Amino acid sequence: MSITLSEIRKIRNRLLDRIPDKELMQILPHFEMVDMVLGDIVARQGEEIQHIYFPCNCSLSCVVYMEGGSGVEVGTIGNEGFTCVEALFDARIALETVVCQIAGSSLRMRIEDFVATLSRPGELTRLLHCSGQAYLSQVSQSVACNRLHSVDMRFARWMLITHDRVHGDEFHLTQEFLAAMLGVHRPSVSTVAGMFQQAGMIKYSRGRVKILDRSLLEEASCECYMVVRRHFERLLGVPRG
């Protein structure tokens, strides 16, 4: 469905919040609001990009798959960013599979309209490039993190990243999905989740996570969370790890 200026100003999308009304009005006809549910795939690795998504209160996971079918998460996108940053470089084939990890709503526009928007100088174009640079810093750090840091450190980092991208302290997350995102087997996730719950950092029951002590999570996480968070704050003025 189409969306009005007043409606889009009520949406908590940090990129669009910073666009002047006059500029935003020019691209409003290209946006539509869509509901996202857990597991929705909005882009498939190796296939043509159809839409660019701007999450509002959902969270999307970017996964790279091997030929054998195994995959690992390389980044997440929330209301500070947009999907398929490769489109900034006129790419039309998705480099990653993008899947909904936390249900909610998202704005989207056709890839053709996105490319046309990039051809016009303005605040949105500048912020899109800043967001793309911040996302690339996240991907680069994730490569090192997945190789060098323990599962419990990466678990803590992932909890912090997700907490940053949802409204409130609770969200739905199955062990199967989290295991896939961390690139480990489900028993490993169960063990780490139990340890973190016993330490009072989180409460985890039947696929529902509640953050109890964020400061303890930050202590348990590797340095990767703060490294990427500083990049986001420098480039976009928003804290995202």
Count of CA atoms in the C-beta half-sphere (13 A) of 169:
10
Q: Which long-range contacts (C-beta less than 8 Å, at least 24 apart) are formed by 10-13? A: 11/56, 11/105, 11/107, 12/56, 12/57, 12/79, 12/167, 13/54, 13/55, 13/56, 13/79, 13/107
Rg (CA), the chain: 18
Output the six-digit token pair for 41: 């795939």
pLDDT tens-digit map of 149-177: 999 999 999 899 888 888 789 988 878 87
Name the nearest CA neighbour of 73 among 153, 145, 170, 152: 145
Which residues fall within 8 angstroms of residue 226, CB to CB, at 6 or more apart?
Answer: 218, 241
Phi and psi (nearest 5°) for 76? -130, 155
pLDDT tens-digit map of 59-99: 999 999 888 888 888 889 998 899 999 999 999 999 999 99
Please state, in angstroms and as integers, the Cα–Cα distance from residue 175 to each residue in 9, 30, 64, 149, 190, following that order: 35, 37, 19, 20, 7
Q: Are 207 and 177 in contact (CB under 8 A)?
A: no
Where along the chain do its domains lie? 5-145, 150-221
Model pTM? 0.88
Q: What is the pLDDT of residue 239?
A: 64
CATH number of 5-145: 2.60.120.10
Name the nearest CA neighbour of 232 among 145, 170, 144, 161: 161
Q: Are 8 and 74 in contact (CB under 8 A)?
A: no
Q: Are 161 and 241 in contact (CB under 8 A)?
A: yes
Q: What is the mean pLDDT of each run of 10 residues along the chain (241 residues)?
A: 78 84 90 93 97 93 88 87 94 96 92 93 90 92 89 92 85 80 80 92 90 95 93 80 54
Helix (H, G, I), strand (E, B) or coil at 140: helix
Name the nearest CA neighbour of 145 among 228, 240, 231, 224: 224
What 8-state DSSP symbol labels residue 190?
H
Which overall architecture, per CATH, does domain 150-221 show? Orthogonal Bundle (1.10)
